[in-house]
Amino acid sequence: MSDKATLACKPIKTDQRRVTLASVAELPTKFGEFRIHVFVDAMGSEHVALTRGDVKMRERVPVRMHSECLTGDAFSSLRCDCREQLEGALEAIGALPMGIVLYLRQEGRGIGLANKIRAYELHQTRGLDTVDANLALGFADDLRDYGAAAGMLHLLGLRSANLYTNNPDKIRQLEENGVRVAERVPHEMMAGAHNRAYLRTKAERSAHMLTLDRKKP
Catalytic residues: 142, 144
Neighbour count for residue 163 (Cβ, 10 Å): 23
Residue 42, sorted as left (phi over 0), alpha (psi -120 to 50) or beta, turns out to be alpha
Q: How many CA atoms lie within 13 Å of 121's alpha carbon, on the beta-carbon side?
A: 8
Are the C-beta atoms of residues 88 and 46 closer than 8 Å to each other? no
Q: How many CA atoms lie within 13 Å of 11's alpha carbon, on the beta-carbon side?
A: 5
DSSP bridge pairs for 28: 33
| Residue 16 phi, psi (nearest 5) | -70, -15
Helix, strand, or coil (residue 25): strand
Are the C-beta atoms of residues 179 and 150 closer than 8 Å to each other? yes
DSSP bridge pairs for 37: 24, 49
Are the C-beta atoms of residues 4 and 169 closer than 8 Å to each other? no
